[in-house]
Structure 1
């Protein structure tokens, strides 16, 4: 079997990160589409489409842990935790700080739950992920960066011992099942729905995807064989779980509320894992055949996080210029046009800011 990483550096993690970013931008647009109160039929269609792309955060976490395990545990980097945090500070924390500041200072109306009114509330909005609709994810993901030694320890302890791998899988499934039961009982339409809502961005909610991403590389020989041989089973699971999550959503009736389609339920967890496996199967198919497209996937995946950070800004600018009028006139066309423009602007800004910053650094070094 060919090594899963090609000469251009593309791996399964790149495909997952790029697919997650591409899909999550659509989630932003679908939320805007519902705000113009389309017909019930279109609302249900939007709900189905929203469920279809509701794999983004799990896929991103799986992809990050997969690539990080490949490059730091078995790769050539051999980073210390201090060096890893230093690299993450520049690549992840600094962009997060800048973009969170942009939203809080220049687009304060996109804040969630509460709005800041003094310095303490500003700091609280800054760190809890309520600065914009999508920044909750940053709060959750950066926890995985800080807790990376846990996943390094899992990879090191498992090595190529299959028994230890199954032990970790079993424990992870039990922890996830208990957490989902706790969340469904107490938070999702539960007695603590309002005051415990921050639990949705606690790393435990996505722990299973981090562990499975680590093990996917650790046992890559078996993982690669499994998803290439049994991809059709994952396709059947995907279809069945997609029907399941849609039935759950429409059971709430109309108007369709996207908050009724959370990540934290068994049906969505199964759906997300099935989608991740299918994306991984497609990735391996292309990587093993050294298709040139993999080079582009690797290139764009490197800017996916920064494009994700900016997407709400571009969506808001488009929305307040002509997007809202277009969406009211024709919801379907509005979704397509605004989504394509937002995706292009998000990645263009990510590439553009990087290019400008690199040139500034060259000038300063001289």
Structure 2
């Protein structure tokens, strides 16, 4: 088997996204939660303030219970807690609902990339909101008709940063194998883990998470490709003194999430030096794909890196329209960016540089350089062989 040089281009060739059929406004879920806090007026006031200020307007859910009356919502009950769904029940719902979303996103990514099924050599599936075996990877392979010899890599329980981690893993795979093409499928059903609210910390998680799926195909670009992202150098780093600031643990009634309000401050303190290390003396890029883990996180990155509102627009748009979809979200941001760039930079002779970043428990930051390419044909053969980001 031939191996490619590390200088040969590796790109995101196609991106697909999918959302559940049920949507709810931020105001309606805020009302649902505050109605469950009638005996805790201080907490209810805090909830109204958090839900109004977090930058979300609409979210999607696989669970129609959130669209019911406050008396009928079992996930955030206003009365007795005895009927709150168990973790087992939530996992049964995950197994039923995750698969069709993953299929929809994967089919769109494959179509956008123009990639045949027999060209896929690796399948990376990503999720931190549900687990079962045989897993989503096996089900996707059977339904899509992938070869049974495809190398399956389930990336589970790593939080919001895992989508970008999967992209970087796929880049490394393609750089090491001349004929490799990787399909990534991320599915997160975050709303299955909403809990009855008893303390302020629980409100942060309830205020901006939603459900969805995303997928992409990663491989070497060819003359047929246009409007794609070349993938450059990147790495994962642990933010010091932050182990307890984001946790995700299995509980009896779903998974229990804790998000410290100190997370934006921690990122603001440590990100600049890491990003300068990533850039290695190069100027700041034009494009910024920031995982919208919350309004405060986008604010922190914008402030510390002196970004314009236009540069953070993609992240804020996704947060506003669908919320934080955990590992799924970074591909939503990149797809929105790609659509916008393709409409403004058709046949642009030079690439536009960018940085993608996502954050998860650890506290982990995934950082990666990339560039937008309007057309493979816009480059000379020499340039195509010397993509070094």
Which structure is higher in RCO with an 8 Å CA cutoff and minimum separation 6?
1
Fold similarity call, TM over 0.5: no
Which protein is richer in helix relative to its size? 1
Give the TM-score normalised by structure 1: 0.31
